[in-house]
Amino acid sequence: MPPSNRPIHARPQAMRNFRNEMRSATMSELTMPVAASPGRLDEAIAAFSRAIGPEHVHTDDATLAEFSDPYSPSSWDDYRPPVVLQPATVEEIQAIVRIANEYTVSLWTNSQGRNNAYGGSSPRMPGTVVVNLRRMNRVLEVNDELGYVVVEPGVSFNDLYAYVREHGHDVWIDVPDLGWGSVLGNTMDHGFGYTRYGDHAAAQCGMEVVLANGELLRTGLGALGAGDGWHVSKRGFGPSADGIFMQSNFGIVTKIGLWVMRRPDFYIYGFITVPQPDDIAALVEALRPLLLDGTIPNQPEVFNDFAALAEGAKKADVWPNPGRVPAEVLDGFRKKSGAGAWNLRFALYGREEIVDVNLAAVRSAIAHIPGSTVNGQKLRGDDREAIEALGQPGQVQAGVPSMSFLSVMDWVGAKKPGHVCLSSIAPLRGADVLKIRDIVRDACAEYGYDYGTGITLSPRHLTHISTLFYDAEDPVAVRSAYDFCREVIVKAREAGFAEYRAHIDFMDHVADQFDWNNHALLRFNETLKDALDPNGILAPGKSGIWPKRLRVK
């Protein structure tokens, strides 16, 4: 149990008082999840075994460890599930849901379950059973004509890429920095990649969901039950339901459609550097018009010098002393490597004459920043070998998955390295990027963390993601990183910035920041939760949404 993280299933408005009252309470004195009752769980496990086969019901230590947060200490049991279920069909999921209702057992669904830096596969609440959907791994459709794919939950980005290549399809999928995550799971947590369709939640179209009562729902045009328009138009008739199943606990999603790019004739892998830390403001101002008018069609990502240094290096080799990497070491790295204070990758796609003109437009937009550089490497869209040889930053903008970015974990030099992310959204303006940069950078300096950041740009907003590295077997280091995040989240909120995604440890805290009109949004979510899942079996606590039976009145 992490020391200052007792489960508190309180409404946010009551949360602070409740926390004070309960400061010295032990876990057993708090609201005890019904799901943790061992008798009920044993009966449920027997029923799960009958429903999906005992070989797919895992209670052994190795599997439970595999499906726990890989970036927290092995000694912590809060986030370790008691059982992992791996169903293979929609019908098996429906059976699991019915059993969970019967025994009031809580379920936490993931797809690949690699939500690392946000809790991995771990459930939010102790005693919650993990339902992992890796075995449901069929690519159901790749449509070249209309540019979409349809996948089951277990399909990873690596799987989808291999399928597209093997079957000779003419589309480029979108991938995040690591290829092992699931297309569906990443989309459910509002994850993103780096092509034209990098915003996965925005690219998602048409969904199939098992509801908490076991019923099967199809959204949008899927509800028509006729024709094949399910994945081409987001709107059906009436309210659009898809969004409420993301970052929520209202259903188990079993299929999604996702829009993908047609293969472009040409791809330019572009790279910009700017020399000064404050140049990030001018860079953002210069690129916003090009993002808004579609000259730059993808989601560029800009890394600071520390992030560039940490990728593929070990701290012990760079700065073999305790504490932060000093400014002079970063200066030396920039001089030696040619890196800037900020380093941005971007993509241009299309016919040759168009990408050439667009690259010239990027060059001219950046030219006024002293010491800036712009490089563009032009490749034919059908030259997969050349694209695959680009290295990770160039590859992912062309939808080619990679695992090489995982080398960033070597930085700490620990046997079990870990990190947690602070992931703040701000308007895409120079003044705002400086504001969020200053909040996080200054807090890092105060608390002794290196300021390592990647910022993803969309036409209207940016996502400022800072990475806090630690030795994951050091409970004090991990707890300190969580506490640091909590504090900075409040500072960011005071400046008007929100987290787009959160580690399970501080999901309630993030939900607590969204308090307009006495938490009207959270109360709306709770109303939906109580209506859709009256027994409160699905993912208690996801995004701060607790079912009635676990809420403190």
Catalytic annotation on 501? yes
- Nearest approach in angstroms of CB 252 to ligand FAD is 5
Q: Is 540 in the site for ligand FAD (CB under 6 A)?
A: no
- Known catalytic residue at 500: yes
Which is nearer to ligand FAD, 249 or 372 (by Cβ)? Answer: 249
Question: What string marks each residue from 161 to 180 as x (binds ligand FAD by CB under 6 A) or -?
Answer: ---------------xxx--
Give CA separation, 85 vs 53, 242, 467, 536, in Å: 10, 25, 31, 18
By C-alpha distance, which of 298, 492, 513 is closest to 395?
Answer: 298
Binding characters for ligand FAD, 281-320, by CB under 6 A (x = yes):
----------------------------------------
Which amino acid type is present at position 25? A
Binding of ligand FAD at residue 392 (CB under 6 A)? no
Q: Minimum CB separation from ligand FAD for residue 174, in Å?
A: 10
d(CA 525, CA 516) in angstroms, rounded, equals 14
Q: Which residue has the tokens 């995982």?
A: 406
Contact between 550 and 104 (Cβ < 8 Å): no
Phi first, then psi: give them for residue 346, nearest 5 degrees: -145, 170
Residue 181 or residue 536: which is nearer to ligand FAD going by CB?
A: 181
How far is the C-alpha of 149 from the C-alpha of 412, rounded, in Å? 38
Candidate residues 47, 52, 125, 133; the one interacting with ligand FAD per rule CB under 6 A: 133
Q: Where are the beta strands (DSSP E) in 32-73?
A: 57-58
189 touches ligand FAD by CB under 6 A? yes
Would you say 408 or 439 has its CB closer to ligand FAD? 408
Q: Calculate helix-pair angle for 430-447, 475-494, nearest 10 degrees.
A: 150
Nearest Cα residue to 88 out of 51, 52, 118: 52
Binding of residue 207 to ligand FAD (CB under 6 A): no
Q: Does 115 bind ligand FAD (CB under 6 A)?
A: yes
349 is catalytic: no
* CB of 133 vs ligand FAD, minimal distance in Å: 6
Query: Of 378, 348, 342, 306, nearest to 194 (Cα)?
Result: 348
CB of 310 to ligand FAD, least distance (A): 11
List 94, 101, 112, 423, residue binding ligand FAD (CB under 6 A): 112
Q: Which of 148, 161, 482, 500 is catalytic?
A: 500
Residues with Cβ within 8 Å of residue 536, at least 6 apart in sequence = 106, 529, 546, 547, 548, 549, 550
Determine if 31 is a binding residue for ligand FAD (CB under 6 A). no
Element at 97 (helix H, strand E): helix 90-103
Q: For ligand FAD, which residue of 31, 68, 86, 110 counts as binding (CB under 6 A)?
A: 110
> Toward ligand FAD, which CB reaches closer, 147 or 181?
181
Q: Is 185 a binder of ligand FAD (CB under 6 A)?
A: yes
